[in-house]
Amino acid sequence: MNKQKLTLLQERLEQQLDSPESARFNMKTFGSKYYPSMNDAFPEYPPVCGTQACLAGETVLSTGQGKIHEFGGILLDSDPDTRSSSSGWLIQSEAAKALELTKAQAQRLFFFKAWNMENRGWPIKYQRMYENAKTPQGRLYAAIRRVERFIETDGRE
């Protein structure tokens, strides 16, 4: 686990708290183009960059492995097809490599427990904080606290 890059991720999220970029954070998409009808989005707060991304997506943006595609979504530097954004699973894989996470650690950081067949994911406290948030900033705050706890426990929680 690379704590330096995790701290960089946390700092990136903190910088977005009071910016229009806060609307980009969405745990249900690795780095997809935003559509107003997207499930789990705040339609009154559309992301200015046309993209929504979870911790994996924010990781590849923070490490410089990816950038926002001109038409929305995240495009990885390693993706040879530049016509559209990169696939979510590729983004998740690159993020896990960048953070030097084991499979179990990646599951604990990038997913909620209910989404993962091995039942690894965010501790319920942080998941509820995210799910109960009334604004994009509230969700981002939950993610910041989640990353902070992940670092404190060396990825065990």
Give pLDDT tens digits for 69-87: 988 889 999 888 888 888 8
Cβ-in-10-Å burial (0-12, 13-18, 19+) of 123 comes to middle
Average pLDDT of the chain to the nearest whole number: 89
pLDDT over 80 at 116, yes or no:
no
pLDDT digits (tens, 9 = 90+) for 21-65: 888 888 888 888 887 766 666 777 778 777 888 899 999 999 999
d(CA 22, CA 45): 9
The CA-based diameter of the chain, rounded to the nearest angstrom, is 40
Amino acid at 129: M
Is residue 49 a contact partner of residue 102, using CB atoms and an 8 Å limit? Answer: no
Is residue 1 a contact partner of residue 105, using CB atoms and an 8 Å limit? Answer: yes
For the chain, give the percent of residues with pLDDT over 70: 96
pLDDT over 90 at 125, yes or no:
yes
